[in-house]
Copies of this chain bind each other. A is one copy, B any other.
């Protein structure tokens, strides 16, 4: 049996979680935990209600930890309970993974120090604060860490993980069942191919949020590493 835990939290972006969930829940003999501090429903940043089934204090040892991202990450980076939970789980978990800005939480827990990693393109420059080497790639695997880029990359990350956890044919079976043969109707999926004005608009719209993220990341990095290199 493979025990997979998703950390879910207020302000998570739901698809960061549900994309990877869709892949991993289709695996053989899987138990999935939706883990949060308590069992009260949480509201995602896009207003979906999700219901945790496992409290952090009661969570058994996981084989796989998945940390999704979203606006709420700004709080998690300096949340002692969450960071301690991740550090504790990482001691014996086989795989430590993230989707989107979930990587910043892994980083804040000290779990990406010395690792290649990725995250949402807008936050990639924050990874070095945690000693991680940012790689502009959709999925980055380094030893037992697998990090995905923005939101939908959780599907690719989880298929990579499914291949590693089970086998290539199992991952292919899952891909075929979910008909993951993407044909985006636009070419705006990354800042390198998107129209320049679309990228500029998004940088503008997210400037305040990114500044807030940087403040939280710097605070987390200070606690983690002292003032070295900051």
Considering only CB atoms and an 8 Å cut-off, how many residues of chain A contact the other chain?
62
Q: Which residues of B contact A194 (CB under 8 A)?
A: 172, 175-176
- Name the residue on B nearest A149 (C-beta): B179
Instruction: Enumerate chain B residues within 8 angstroms of A14, measured Cβ to Cβ.
Output: 18, 21-22
A150 nearest CB neighbor, chain B only: B179
Q: What residues of B have a CB within 8 angstroms of the CB of A163 in the complex?
A: 185-186
Interface centre among A159, A178, A202, by most B CB within 10 Å?
A178
Give which listed residue, B47, B169, B172, B185, contacts A159 with CB less than 8 A.
Answer: B185
Interface centre among A14, A151, A179 (most CB of B within 10 A): A179
Query: Which chain B positions have C-beta within 8 A of A177?
Result: 150-151, 202
Chain B residue contacts of A50, Cβ below 8 A = 48-49
Sample 26 A-B pairs with CB under 8 A, ordered by A number: A14-B21, A14-B22, A15-B21, A22-B46, A25-B47, A32-B47, A49-B50, A49-B51, A138-B182, A139-B183, A151-B180, A152-B179, A152-B180, A156-B183, A156-B185, A159-B184, A169-B195, A169-B197, A169-B198, A171-B185, A171-B188, A175-B186, A175-B188, A176-B189, A180-B182, A181-B193
9 tightest A-B CB contacts, nearest first: A150-B179, A181-B189, A15-B22, A172-B188, A18-B18, A182-B182, A151-B178, A25-B46, A181-B190
